[in-house]
Structure 1
């Protein structure tokens, strides 16, 4: 934000009512929050202005709040300090290191806007910043979630929310999948929304204990009318090509951090993906952890 929200709002109102030209900085921010599209005030921008300046129905703060929280840098900031009290210096350091915010004044304008929208409680006098725990700061249907050392419980909750957005046939592909990964699946995968769970991994974390845990997991999934299978890739060519990790489903699909990184609160992100990924060849070439156990043991 190169200008305060009050100045940007004045520009927007003049543009809406009198077709005044928009300042370049105002235009950039208004386009980013989808208040201006294709050179015109958008439906969201019009609803905001009508609410504040015509109907006075107090809906405008929620309209603006929703669009501001959709900004990736604001979403990352809120998820990183979710429900916490910190100070302006740390917020500025975060914004400078992870966004294109370049100076203290811009960070201050952002904090003032977030304070006005009840996303944070910010005291200019003391520099104290308290971040909201409201559900609107972190909604169910987001396109990304951040893992941070400041939010050890919320990191696991975000993994569960990512799984909760999936449905139908679920495939989790992770070279180093640990048995701890069964836990969030057991919590979130239910028979009313899922038909199968497939896990494709390499041999590094595969042990007798993991096999035993999966047998129990498989039995419980079966009681929910969900087919489950875990296969281990032993083909070196496939293993050498696999780096990222995915949770793919008939509903949402995700590029996800390593399970152990999530539980260790290491900085990472979940991202919703739209492109198709096919692991059919790798799946058909992998070994079933139950029926092919003797073969798998040669590789662990």
Structure 2
């Protein structure tokens, strides 16, 4: 359990020894980018971990915000994700380099395959994943990506990748909130020393009006968002809430000075009903 003494710069160690911040700011292509909000998070809230993706279409703007913040590059953790339309060895390498150029960066701290499916006509998603993973391994060896991983991979996808490659992903980023608790994936990642990262910790706002969450929030005199984020962190999950509003970003960051008790954790843990607020990756073979 995460201790109340932990702070926004707390980290979790990857299998390659790098320290990844447990809390970050997510971005999105669905109204999920704000230049002022990113600069505010970096300069006023102590956020040093930013998560983005080629798909979100905000790489150039995000790079500008990072430069404007004046935060030294070595103090930041920047995650980017490769969209499936660029899967394949040559396409993946080229796309990563283009993303670096658009953001004005020499390297990414973490680079992920965004989905287990190729989304394009191909003989096999498994073959596409293996070929793309080979490209990410080379980017890792070249230092362009300091760590590499996957996103939305279920156990079956991770098992196949394990059979097809000797390199285990450093991170698996998956939808994770009280309504969607993929315990089997989390346990598998822990077993294989893959850091489990959760996105959409507020279930795209659906949890903010949930009566169970509201009751726990009232008990702790906190907001529903803070309860959900704190629950995720105490589960040992790297957590990246999104917001374009500075006041919400500050609120989301203020989760390191209290603890949920065992009863709270158990109550929230029983809320799983299997719903997704993004695509369900379990149907991808």
Relative contact order (alpha carbons < 8 A, sep ≥ 6): 1 or 2 greater?
2
User: The TM-score by the shorter chain falls in which range?
Assistant: under 0.3
**TM-score relative to the length of structure 1:** 0.25
**TM-score relative to the length of structure 2:** 0.26
Instruction: From the CA coordinates, give the structure whose radius of gyration is larger.
Output: 1
Q: Which one has a larger percent strand, Structure 1 or Structure 2? A: 1
